[in-house]
Structure 1
Amino acid sequence: MLTANVGTPDRIFRLIVGVLLIVLPIFGGAAFANPVLAVGLPVVGVVLVVTAFLAFCPIYAALGLSTRKREAR
């Protein structure tokens, strides 16, 4: 089972940045003509959105970190 390790402020930040990374290459035009940016940024964005919804970050888990309040754990 995944133990939640992403707190609410972190989840909100991940959701906002994730959506921006997904949308920017679509509407960014020539600034995102590089295929690495055009594909890489949305992939990172999807990962951020998924971790925001799951409230679980595998990198935090591997490092033993958590941004959740102690009472919520």
Structure 2
Amino acid sequence: MKANIGTIDRSLRIITGLLLIGLSLSGVIGVWGWIGLVPLATGIFRFCPVYTVLGIKTCNRC
């Protein structure tokens, strides 16, 4: 897996994922907040399978 997520994209994915999981744990949005695991994982691993299919790269050094 070659990295295809840049720094800003990575930061936004991690923040969004953590926010969704936190809202789920606090009971605000219920179990749907666990979908935040997807952006969190893609941000941590710097790889998005959808970007690969669409041919998108937000990483300049990749």
- Asked which structure has the greater CA Rg, the reply is 1
Name the structure 2 match of 1:64. Answer: 55
User: Which of 39, 50, 53 matches 2:31?
Assistant: 39
Higher-helix-fraction structure: 1
CA distance in 1, matches of 2:40, 2:53: 19
- Unmatched 5+ stretches in structure 1: 33-37
CA distance in 2, matches of 1:39, 1:63: 29
Runs of 4+ in structure 1 off by over 3 angstroms are: none
Deviations 1:8-66 (A, max 9, x none): 10000000000000010222x4x43xxxxx22221x21111110111000110110101
- Unmatched 5+ stretches in structure 2: none
Count of residue correspondences: 62
3-state DSSP of counterpart to 1:25:
helix
TM-score (ref. length: structure 2): 0.89
CA RMSD of aligned residues (A): 1.2
Check conservation: 2:24, 2:32, Cα contact below 8 A: no
